[in-house]
Structure 1
């Protein structure tokens, strides 16, 4: 992963404005998040954002591109994550090592937020991020339930 340092703020805001994850955020909230509490990374195609058992507890929001998620065999993905979706919430919340690996299917830009940065965010922004994580995790539980039901029949 390569840290992206010279992307103008206006360009970063344009990207965030297109994503459903940030729909409930005001322009000034998006700007605060970008300026003070996050980093952008480029993950080149066929490279890992992180690997299973890494001690990386950042939450990643996909701004562009796509990642495959797998546990052991990268040829058998258990899911895909694209623009406006997030990954790494398990390690982010529990402060444990990664339980999966994430491989870029194409060049991918990620917004990374550390647990420490989340605690320093203004309350309104922090609560919106938490709400989005809860919504996303709930959707994933629903998908897993369907998967289990389909494979038990």
Structure 2
């Protein structure tokens, strides 16, 4: 992953304004998040955002591109995540190592937030991020339930 350091704020805002993850955030809240509490990274195609068992507790929000999620072998893909979705929430919330691998299927830009940065965010922004994580995890549980029911 390569840190993107010189992306103008206006360009960053243009990207996140299109994503449902940030739909409940005001323009000022988006600006605070981007200016002070997050980092942008480029993950080139076929490179890993993170690997299984790595100790990296950042939350990754996909701004562009697509990542494949898999446990051991790339052939046994668990799923894909794209713009507006997030990964790494288990390590982010529980401060544990990653349980999966995440590899870019195309050049991808990720916004990262650390648990420490989350605690320093204004409470209204912090709560909106938490709400989005809960909502996303709920959608994943519903998807898994459907998958299990179809498999039986």
Counterparts of 1:127 and 1:116 in 2: how far apart (Å)?
A: 14
Matched, 1:30 2:30: yes
Secondary structure of the residue aligned to 1:106 is: coil
Distance 1:91 1:29 in 2: 25
Aligned residue number for residue 42 of structure 1: 42
1:50-90 superposed Cα distances (whole Å, 9 cap, x missing partner): 00000000000000000000011112210100000000000
For 2:52, the equivalent position in structure 1 comes to 52
Deviation at 1:109, TM superposition (A): 0.1
Q: TM-score of the superposition, structure 2-length normalised?
A: 0.99
Please report how far the alpha carbon of residue 136 of structure 1 lies from its aligned counterpart in structure 2 after TM superposition.
0.2
What are structure 2's unaligned runs of at least 5 residues?
Answer: none
TM-score (norm 1): 0.98
For these two proteins, the number of residue pairs brought into alignment is 152
Distance, in Å, in 2 between the alignment partners of 1:59 and 1:114 is 6
The answer for unaligned runs of 5 or more in structure 1 is none
Q: Partner residue of 1:111?
A: 111
1:150 Cα offset (Å): 1.2
Q: What is the Cα-based RMSD across aligned positions, in Å?
A: 0.5
Q: Secondary structure at the match of 1:62?
A: strand
Q: Which residue of 1 aligns with 2:89?
A: 89
